[in-house]
Amino acid sequence: MLKGASCYKIGVSNFADYAIPSVFMLILEYGVDRQRMTRLNLEQHPDKLVEYMIFRNVRNISELTTLLKSGKISSVLLSENMVVSPLHLAVAVNRALHHEKNKTMKTKSINTEIILCLSPNNNISQSLTRFGLNANSYNVISLSVADSADSLSEKVQDLKNKIKADLVNDCRGFQYDDYEVYDVYGVSKEELSVDSLENSVVTKIATKV
């Protein structure tokens, strides 16, 4: 099911105590070359460049899994069915970068830390299984973090060369699994009656201890 729209600017407040600035701006921009890359500009980490891409109908999951395990892919690869929105991604990246800056990471790399920060709990292996690449990940979101434009460009091009899939834009929203997201994040019908799924999920990961 297609959910949400993501060509917009978002302001989120009241997360100051959880590594989110009081006015947290997420800006989604398409590059001038229109190559379906989307930039997340994190106000709290202006020195970092973050871009994500959406790959649908991935045809070489097994190969990608091997490349990840051998360290030959330097970006994060996520199962799209567990990611609700660009804001969901941005809050996780923001929190992971905050942990890296303050030397409080629970994992050994920023990429793994981002996956852990997407999770509602601190179980590393469970987070990798739920949010990372798996045998059923036919739709994948890549997330690349870099310190320079050249480094980011190299990571993005490397992904395009290695992932055999359809690269799409995100203006129609992410294709996530409603019921799996409800279950993993413990979102109840009562919550959804007063707030959006995106807000419920973002609140849970932003306030996770």
The dihedral region occupied by 27, where left means phi > 0, alpha psi between -120 and 50, and beta the remainder, is beta
Are the C-beta atoms of 208 and 121 separated by less than 8 Å?
A: yes
* pLDDT at residue 1 greater than cutoff 90: no
User: Please, what is the Cα angle at 66 between 65 and 67, to 5 degrees?
Assistant: 90
Amino acid in position 106 = K
Total Cβ atoms within 10 A of residue 97: 23
Q: Report pTM.
A: 0.83
- Digit-coded pLDDT (tens) for 72-112: 999 999 999 999 998 899 999 999 999 999 999 999 999 99
- Digit-coded pLDDT (tens) for 62-82: 999 999 999 999 999 999 999
Q: Please give the residue that has the higher pLDDT: either 134 or 29.
A: 134
* pLDDT at residue 188 greater than cutoff 50: yes
pLDDT for the residue numbered 34: 41
In percent, how much of the chain has pLDDT > 90? 65
Are the C-beta atoms of 54 and 168 separated by less than 8 Å?
A: yes
* pLDDT at residue 120 greater than cutoff 80: yes
Q: Measure the CA–CA gap between 48 and 42, rounded to whole angstroms.
A: 8
Total Cβ atoms within 10 A of residue 117: 27
* pLDDT at residue 4 greater than cutoff 50: no
* pLDDT at residue 179 greater than cutoff 50: yes
Structure tokens at 19: 């590594």
Q: Where along the chain do its domains lie?
A: 2-206
The sign one gets for the Cα dihedral 159, 126, 96, 205 is positive
Which CATH code for domain 2-206?
3.30.2380.10
Amino acid in position 96 = A
Query: φ, ψ for residue 190 (rounded to 5)?
Result: -65, -40
* Residue 202 CA neighbour count, 13 Å, CB half: 24
Cα R_g (the chain), whole angstroms = 16
Beta bridge partners of 144: 51
| Residue 173's pLDDT band (cuts 50, 70, 90) | confident
